[in-house]
Amino acid sequence: MKKVMVEMSGGVDSSTAAAILIDRGFDVCGVTFCTTPGTTGGKSARDAELVADRLRIPHQTVDLSDIFERAVIRDFISEYKSGRTPNPCAVCNRHIKFGTPLFKIAAELGCEYIATGHYAVTDGGELRRGADARKDQSYFLYPILAAPIEKILFPLGAMTKSETRALARKLNIPTADRGESQDICFVPGTDYARFLRSRGVGAAAISGNIVDTDGNILGTHTGIHNYTVGQRKGLGALGKPMYVKHIIPAENTVVVAEDSQIISNEAEIEDVVVSKAKGINVNGRYAAQIRYKSSPVGATVVEVAGCINRGGGINNDAGTAGGVAIRIKFDEPVRAVSPGQAAVLYDGDTVVAGGTIRR
* Among the listed residues 9, 19, 6, the one whose alpha carbon sits nearest the alpha carbon of residue 178: 9
CATH class (in words) of the domain with range 3-170: alpha beta
pLDDT of residue 308: 40
What are the residue ranges spanned by the domains of the chain? Answer: 3-170, 207-261, 263-357
Residue 306 φ/ψ, nearest 5 degrees: 150, -145
Q: Are 301 and 281 in contact (CB under 8 A)?
A: yes
- How far is C-alpha 41 from the chain's CA centre? 21
* Among the listed residues 24, 169, 43, 33, the one whose alpha carbon sits nearest the alpha carbon of residue 101: 33
Cα(224)–Cα(209) distance, integer angstroms: 10
Q: Are 309 and 279 in contact (CB under 8 A)?
A: yes
- How far is C-alpha 197 from the chain's CA centre? 23
| 29: annotated active-site residue | no
Q: Please measure the distance between the N-terminal and C-terminal CA atoms of the chain and give it in whole angstroms.
A: 48
Strand runs (DSSP E) across 258-324, as ranges? 263-274, 280-281, 285-289, 297-305, 313-314
Res. 205: pLDDT tops 80: no
What is the per-residue pLDDT across 135-178, written as a single tens digit (0 to 9) for each?
999 999 999 999 999 999 999 999 999 999 999 999 999 888 87
| 185: annotated active-site residue | yes
Q: Are 179 and 222 in contact (CB under 8 A)?
A: no
* Among the listed residues 37, 69, 50, 38, the one whose alpha carbon sits nearest the alpha carbon of residue 9: 50
What is the per-residue pLDDT across 32-66, written as a single tens digit (0 to 9) for each?
988 876 566 678 888 999 999 999 999 999 999 89
pLDDT of residue 310: 31
Task: Measure Cα distances from 147 to 118, 124, 125, 158, 302 in Å.
Answer: 16, 14, 10, 22, 26
Environment class of 347 (CB within 10 Å of its CB; exposed 0-12, middle 13-18, buried 19+): middle
* Among the listed residues 248, 249, 257, the one whose alpha carbon sits nearest the alpha carbon of residue 213: 257
What is the per-residue pLDDT across 89-130, written as a single tens digit (0 to 9) for each?
899 999 889 988 899 999 999 999 999 999 999 998 899 999
Q: Which option is the CATH number for 207-261: 2.30.30, 3.40.1000, 3.30.70, 2.60.200?
A: 2.30.30
If DSSP codes are grouped into helix, strand and coil, which group holds residue 286?
Answer: strand
The pTM of the full predicted model, rounded to 2 decimals, is 0.88
Q: Do the domains 263-357 and 207-261 match in fold?
A: no
Average of per-residue pLDDT values in the chain: 86
| 92 compared with 187, residue with greater pLDDT | 92
What is the per-residue pLDDT across 292-323, written as a single tens digit (0 to 9) for each?
888 999 999 998 876 443 333 444 443 344 46
Q: Are 60 and 54 in contact (CB under 8 A)?
A: no
CATH number of 263-357: 2.40.30.10
Task: Measure Cα distances from 137 to 61, 298, 328 in Å.
Answer: 25, 20, 22
Catalytic residue among 29, 89, 92, 111: 92
